Amino acid sequence: MDAINKIRNDFPILSRKVKGKQLVYLDNGATTQKPQQVIDTIEKYYAYENSNIHRGVHTLSQEATTKYEEARETVKSFIGAGKNEEIIFTKGTTDSINLIASSFGKKLLKKGDEIIISAMEHHSNIVPWQMICEEKEAVLKVIPINKKGELIMEALEKLVSPKTKLIAVNHISNTLGTINPIKKIIEIAHKNNALVLIDAAQSIAHTPLNVVDLDVDFLVFSGHKMFAPTGVGILYGKEALLNDLPPYQGGGDMIKEVTFEKTTYNCLPHKFEAGTPNIAGGIGLASAIDYIKKIGFDTILKQEKALLAYGTQELLTIDGLRIIGSADNKTSVISFVIDGIHPFDIGTIIDQLGIAVRTGHHCTQPLMNFFEIPGTIRASFAFYNTKEEVDILVKGLKRAINMLL
Ligand code: PLP
């Protein structure tokens, strides 16, 4: 058995059948599958370790607290952060962005200030900024892209001004697969005294990241896109910045002392973690990180690069197929349209063949408007995908096209 097939055995779902056919799961951009190791960790937690954290003196509570805080430590090391205080557990990328937009916006945004995002953002990195800009009468500006789906960096240089307070961009576009030059963006922002939030939802499972090396101010991601459970995610923030921001939500755990007259807030990271968190999720996330480390980014990058090259080559053999997103620096996401056929129709037919791809606007409607298309069909690969699955996809697409045209 080759190395990839051995890895596939770690993911029970990959051996199931859909509509009587072997599942071909190519929707990793939406969510990744979970290895047995992560499933076992969560099961063990609920079976033998479940308890609330940070509150009880009893053994179970202390054990659960220790595991949860060890998980924070694992996340910290994984992204190269300096301190546990800089790692905030959230519900996911969307929750993390809303936290910063709200908290940063309330404290630091004034009328006429500017926030910059890009034309290829997921709705969750657009709408929270629109909401806070509306509230504060601030201005939202957008870095344009070219037809290849790359940021126009010269335009960014012109957009940044002394009024710019923060730049929020994704590292990798979920729709185009474009890898953005985040280090350069951070340099430009800092030269202009602006902060940067990087949405790493699509990069965290695909490329190593080091927040200190990047000098990024805030970095956010979701557990479920990195082989961990849904409902857990991370906000990394530089300690001094997080200390300066007001809490996002009020409730248990985020307080130091409460009276009816006044409440004082807990220190980091608890200040931003009101209420009982997703404890099993946090512990599951640490288990997923251990799993990624076991596979290693060398293997991940090699396999995903090969899948991108082979997938692009084979898909382009299909008449009438056009790839949307051809950036020079790209990850293993291939979005495409087929002349004369709506993406939903293709998605529905190939589902009958056991093939799971994403169809639609991928929560990037402004990007669809830019390319003047209603949506795309998106195959997004993980390291457990194979060239044989690319062949099945191509065969399935040809069959669907024959039926529809
Ligand atoms: N940002 C990007 C680039 C994404 O791809 C996604 C999800 O697809 C999100 C943000 C939102 O992530 P979540 O739904 O896990 O909060």
- pLDDT, tens digit (0-9, with 9 covering 90-100), for 332-371: 999 999 999 999 999 999 999 999 999 999 999 999 999 9
What pLDDT score does 162 carry? 97
Is the shortest distance between the CB of 197 and ligand 1 below 6 Å?
no
The answer to whether 104 and 234 have CB atoms below 8 angstroms apart is no
Q: For residue 256, how far is the Cα from the chain centroid?
A: 32
Which residue ranges in the chain fall short of pLDDT 70? Answer: 1
Catalytic-labelled residue, pool 39, 363, 368, 373: 363
| Closest ligand 1 atom to 174 CA | 5
Q: Running DSSP on this structure, what letter comes out for residue 204? A: T
Q: Whose CA is nearest to atom 14 of ligand 1?
A: 94
Please, are residues 269 and 245 in contact by the beta-carbon 8 Å criterion?
no
Residue of 128, 147, 129 lying closest to 138 (CA atoms): 129
Q: Which of 93, 96, 176 to mutate to test the pocket of ligand 1 (most atoms within 8 A of CB)?
A: 93
202 lines ligand 1 (CB under 6 A): yes
pLDDT of residue 31: 98
Please tell me the predicted confidence (pLDDT) of residue 56. 84
Q: Report the separation in Å between the CA atom of 91 and the middle of ligand 1, taken as the mean of its atom positions.
A: 11
pLDDT reported for residue 220: 99
HSE of 388, CA atoms in CB hemisphere, 13 A: 6
| 52-65 b/e (C-beta count within 10 Å ≥ 16 → b) | ebbeeeeeeeebbb
pTM over 0.95: yes
Classify domain 2-30+296-404 by CATH architecture: Alpha-Beta Complex (3.90)
Q: Are 233 and 221 in contact (CB under 8 A)?
A: yes
Cα distance between residue 297 and residue 399, in whole Å = 35
Interacting residues of 147 by C-beta distance below 8 A, sequence separation 6+: none
Residue nearest to atom 12 of ligand 1 (CA): 93
Domain boundaries in the chain?
A: 2-30+296-404, 39-293
Fold equal for 2-30+296-404 and 39-293 = no
Distance CA 359, CA 363 (A): 11
92 close to ligand 1 (CB < 6 Angstrom): yes
Q: Is the CB of 98 under 6 A from ligand 1?
A: no
- CB 174 less than 6 A from any atom of ligand 1: yes
267 included as an active-site residue: no
The atom of ligand 1 lying closest to the CA of 172 is 3
d(CA 97, CA 385): 30
- Closest-CA residue, ligand 1 atom 6, reads 201
What element of type H or E holds 132? helix 127-136
Cβ–ligand 1 contact at 199 (below 6 Å): yes
pLDDT in tens, 212-266: 999 999 999 999 999 999 999 999 999 999 999 999 999 999 999 999 999 999 9
- Tell me, in angstroms, the distance from the centre of ligand 1 to residue 270's CA: 24
Of 220, 236, 217, the C-alpha closest to 128 is 220
Atom of ligand 1 nearest to the CA of 224: 15
Give the mutation target among 95, 117, 202 for probing the ligand 1 site: most ligand atoms within 8 A of CB. Answer: 202
CATH 3.40.640.10 fits 39-293, yes or no: yes
With a 6 Å cutoff on the Cβ, whether 103 touches ligand 1 is no
